[in-house]
Structure 1
Amino acid sequence: MSQTNSRLVLIVGAGPAGLALACDLARRGISYRIVDKADRLFIGSRGKGLQPRTLEVFHDLDVIDDVVDAGTPFPGFRCYAGDQVVWDRSLAQMLGIREPVATPDVPYPSAWIIPQWRTDEILHARLVRLGGGVELSTELVAFEQDADGVTATLIRDGVQQRVRAGYLVGTDGGRSFVRKELGVGFEGETFETERTIIGDVRVDGPLDHDHCHLLTRAGGVSSSERFSLWGLPGTEYFQLVANVSSDEVPALTLDAMQAMLKARSGRSDIRLHDLRWISLYRVNVRMAERFRVGRVFLAGDAAHVHSSAGGQGLNASVQDAYNLGWKLGAVLSGAPAELLDTYEAERMPVAADLLGITTRWHRQDFGGPPTGSEVGSGHKMFQLSLNYRAGPLAWEDRTAPGGVRAGDRAPDAPCCDAVGAPTRLFDVFRGPHFTLLTFGTDTREFVAEINTRYHELVRAYQVVRPGSAVEGASLADSEGFIHRVFEIDPAVGISLVLVRPDGYIGLVTCAENPATARLMRYLEMVTPIRVSGTPG
């Protein structure tokens, strides 16, 4: 049995990265198959923290309401000495930052806690609504590639199938078969003397569901002293976390976990039962030497693995998929193939930066706020300040750019549409298209021509100041926030801001360049449409 489709993307691994990528391709009308050798979606809570930037991605993928309903803001930490509370601290206090609050440009300011199995379930449900699904119990056992595609061998129920696809993406975890078959090195370090036990368990006793409970005998919080129980919202379960030395690993059983809790906390009033899932992890900090080999890509844990400190792994994985999805979609629709080179160019520096941050946090082990440049705002943890400014798709033409520039995450802002209905930039950006915001003198004819020429690939808008007339494809900057946050200089004349499908700013240019010519050159690099000349 065989299948051939040169426009097919074969995704191997149905974790958060694979599911997010499949959703993004599906909404673009790109053919894909997503397979996983497991017989069901992941059932554990492992990657339970979603960072604010990931919530923004989920807004765009149209799953944010389900994610918000299924989770809660990240809980506070409560430390015990025996049965006595020693201290209560919020996540912001642990990080040494101000308590986050929603602002017009950051609508999701707080980290969110939701068990990973629920995140996977929500993404899969979205994929089903888009007309797809995951092929479980289906294992990739071999693949080879040439200049025109990838030939993969899958096995399901003992039956072999050969699949011919345009591209293959390995989202198959830290032990990635795809990465190993490519022969790509996985450089970094393993903390050989440490192991981490994580499991999902129900708890009887005087612990609420609204905290991360750090249970100790004397109030010390070093990894060898504590037994942590995190309430998992929307469930009756807690996530248990215990670090152990490599030569003292207990049996992964309910009785052994109960004994460890008693030994570390001295308490007998907390009883564990119904151990739903448990796993033992070595702490690895590693990154693939390459994220792309020809027509095969690595994303998520297949490309980089982190310490769980700081909750970056799942979030970085989703960002990989979000970066790669629109580029695969564009190239498979006729955009220049060189666009795919920018995936590695943009994501490798981000992954390396996050690996450094999570390693520092891991080594500090709850010993006060983290050190380093990421402390002041906490935004590196939240992934709001991570950017692609140094990448090949960031074209910043202003001689004195402000705080928000090409390569940065595009901020949200309140506005009104052409009929006066309140909306927000994130809803204008939502979807698989580029968004062009035009500022300055009357740009209605220019906006109309862009919308006609690029159809649904680019949605262009004239952004007008408060009190100005709104017509056609226009947005009223009803509170002036859009002009302020993008730091638009009215003396320049026409200014253009092009927002990529993944919510990052691709181009900021102005009339003196001239703006329209720069825009056309950029769009020819990232869309299937080739044009001569520029709009009037």
Structure 2
Amino acid sequence: MSEVVVVGAGPTGLLLAGDLAEAGIAVTVLERRDGSVSNLSRAFGVHARTLEQLDARGLADQLVPMGAALRRVRLFERVEVDLGTLPSRYPYLLITPQYNVERLLLDRALKAGVEIIYDAEVLEVGQDAIGVTVTTAHGAHRAAYAVGADGFHSSVRRALGQPFPGKSVLKSIMLADVRVAEQPAELLTVNGVGDAFAFIAPFGDGYYRVFAWDRRHSVPDDAPLALDEVRDVARRALGTDFGMHDARWLSRFHSDERQVPHYRIGRVFLAGDAAHVHSPAGGQGMNTGLQDAANLAWKLAAVLRGAPDALLDTYHTERHPVGRSVLRSSGAIIRAAMIESAAGRAVRGFAARRALSVPKVREKVTGQLSGIGYHYPAPHGAHELTGTRASDVPLAGGGRLYEALRDRRFVLIGDADVTGRQDRINVVAPAVPGGPLVLVRPDGYVGWAGTDTTGLGQALDALLGPVGSHQTGRP
């Protein structure tokens, strides 16, 4: 019997399940698809913070060669965001299709022992004081907790009766996978001219993914789409259609801005697109979902092994504000790109370039876009590092912090007595001594810091449970 049922075998669900399994938690993943990894995904960029998370799982070195590094991201016209100055091992946006990420996470999850059941669409979700029952056409699955990571049309969210407030931002966005006669000069080409918007990025296999939107022609998602329509919009937005031909796939979709009020509903949690959706501007969708999974996984593992249940409430308090921020920032980008008048576009460009010339503004924008700028709330009186993203510091004797995180344990940078918790805390020495004691959570954020061990025991009890509290979470 599983301790956690994860619904959805996309990147969010697979990272979550893999983390849990590597932490010794029995996990079952239910997926309504047939088991094939689709190449029709919309995500094309892996941001710095996500690459850091993948590094902490030993996957970044495999993924990076599958893509191309983009250090300057163009938002529209001559407005660019420079990611090359990010204080990260990965100061760029990695352009690679979502299915490359998904394949790596799938292989990892299977090697860790995750059970994946395909063709298993969720029909009902019920819960009581000790567990959750997730019912599919093939039977019921019982666990201590369940996570809905099943996308925009989440069956889990609907079964729970949860609202998904928001609105459609762009309707009738065109998608096309094409070959081109003329290779774009830039790795990622994007621009909006008021009544037309287009984006083009490489798959890496000779095909390019095109997003195109026409203000003058809004039709239902199921309306027929011909390549000539995509070409026309690309020429208006980009000045050329690059000789697009041999389309292997054409479709339409609409872009929504929505977020559930609560990420936790009793013993059930929502993550990724099941919890929040927003415009594709900035390429933050998949990345935000993966960060959700990284945040929730270690907390579920800790509570199933004796940590206080209140730890699970922090998933909502930490991740809901981030989802809201991404929704607002991506919405601001797409609205700016869609300004219709020439005068408005001129003001847009001037204002954006002027703002990005201010160091603090530039740092905030790059931090939000890349994900490395987010931090979580800290208790009153906590050390200033608490809740912040942990930098990948070198360790004494060689190695880095994010390499030390690969066994899914906490890492304590410094010297302190962790008797009774040695199996859950890896104590390491920094290459440069003299700094504060820092307790790094498995998701790469600082859970506690201090100049001495005062308060460390209390923090460990809150994050891991008292010594000797190890228990199984099976209902």
Task: Measure how far apart 1:315 and its partner are.
Answer: 0.8
**Take 1:374 and 1:259, find their aligned partners in 2: how far apart are those partners?**
36
**For 2:386, what is the secondary structure of its paired residue?**
coil
**Residue 525 (structure 1) aligned with residue 462 (structure 2):** yes
Answer 1 or 2: which has greater strand percent. 1
Q: Which residue of 2 aligns with 1:95?
A: 80
Residues 38-47 or 146-155, more deviating = 38-47
Tell me, yes or no, if structure 1 residue 275 matches structure 2 residue 216. no
Candidates 256, 262, 280, aligned match of 1:284: 256
Give yes or no for the alignment of 1:20 onto 2:15. yes
Partner residue in 1 for 2:472? none
For 1:271 and 1:352, how far apart are their aligned partners in 2? 37
Relative to 1, partners in 2 of residues 1:274 and 1:145: Cα closer, same or farther, differing over 3 Å?
A: same
Match for 1:173: what amino acid? Answer: G
Q: Which one is further off, 312-321 or 239-248?
A: 239-248
Tell me how far apart the structure 2 counterparts of residues 237 and 427 of structure 1 sit (CA, whole Å): 35
- Counterpart mapping for 1:137-176 below 5 A: 137-155=119-137, 160-176=138-154
Say which SS state the counterpart of residue 152 (structure 1) adopts. Answer: strand
Distance 2:412 2:71 in 1: 38
How far apart are residue 14 of structure 1 and its match?
1.3
For residue 503 of structure 1, give the secondary structure of its aligned residue in structure 2: coil
Output the aligned Cα RMSD.
2.8
Instruction: Give yes or no for the alignment of 1:32 onto 2:8.
Output: no
Question: How big is the shift at 1:133?
Answer: 5.3
**Residue type of the alignment partner of 2:426:** R
Q: Once the 2 structures are TM-superposed, how far is the Cα of residue 179 of structure 1 from its aligned partner? A: 1.1
Question: How far, CA to CA, are the matches of 2:216 and 2:149 in structure 1?
Answer: 28
Q: Distance in 1 between matches of 2:329 and 2:373?
A: 13
C-alpha separation in 2, matches of 1:339 and 1:129: 28
Distance 1:14 1:91, change over 3 A: farther
The unaligned stretches of length 5 or more in structure 1 are 78-88, 215-219, 462-473, 489-494
**Alignment partner of 1:186: what SS?**
coil
Q: CA deviation at 1:255?
A: 5.3
Note the 1:29-428 alignment, pairs <5 A. Answer: 29-39=24-34, 40-74=36-70, 94-97=79-82, 100-101=84-85, 106-132=88-114, 134-155=116-137, 160-191=138-169, 194-203=171-180, 205-208=181-184, 210-214=186-190, 221-222=192-193, 224-232=195-203, 234-245=204-215, 247-249=217-219, 251-254=224-227, 256-258=229-231, 261=234, 270-276=243-249, 278-365=250-337, 367-368=348-349, 369=352, 375-377=362-364, 378-388=366-376, 390-391=377-378, 394=379, 397-398=382-383, 401=384, 405-417=385-397, 422-428=398-404
**Conserved in 2, the CA contact under 8 Å of 1:12 and 1:34?**
yes
Q: Structure 1's 263 and 190: CA in aligned 2 closer, same or farther, altered over 3 A? A: closer
The CA deviation string for residues 362-395 of structure 1, in whole angstroms up to 9 with x for no partner, is: 111185348697534511111111010x25xx57
- 1:155-180 per-residue CA deviation (whole Å, 9 max, x = no partner) reads 2xxxx211111111111111211112
Equivalent positions of 1:458-469 (< 5 A) are 458-461=425-428
Contact 2:163–2:260 (CA<8 Å) still a contact in 1? yes
- In the other structure, the counterpart of 2:343 is none
Could you tell me how far 1:8 is from its partner in structure 2? 1.9
Instruction: Give, in whole Å, the separation in 2 of the partners of 1:92 and 1:64.
Output: 31
Contact 1:396 1:508 in 2 (8 A): no
**Equivalent residue of 2:116, what SS?**
coil
Higher relative contact order (CA 8 A, sep 6+): 2
Distance of aligned partners of 1:170 and 1:90 in 2 relative to their CA distance in 1, 3 Å threshold: closer
Contact 1:95 1:375 in 2 (8 A): no
CA contact (8 A) 2:57 2:405 kept: no
The Cα shift of 1:258 comes to 4.6
Q: Is the 8 A contact 1:74 1:111 kept in 2?
A: yes
Aligned residues: 449
Question: TM-score normalised to the size of structure 2?
Answer: 0.86
Structure ID, larger Rg? 1
1:14 maps to a residue whose letter is A
Aligned with residue 457 of structure 1, among 418, 424, 428: 424
TM-score (norm 1): 0.77
- Identical-residue share of aligned pairs (%): 32
Name the SS for the 2:25 alignment partner. Answer: coil
**411, 414, 436: which is aligned to 2:412?**
436
SS of the aligned residue for 1:23 comes to helix
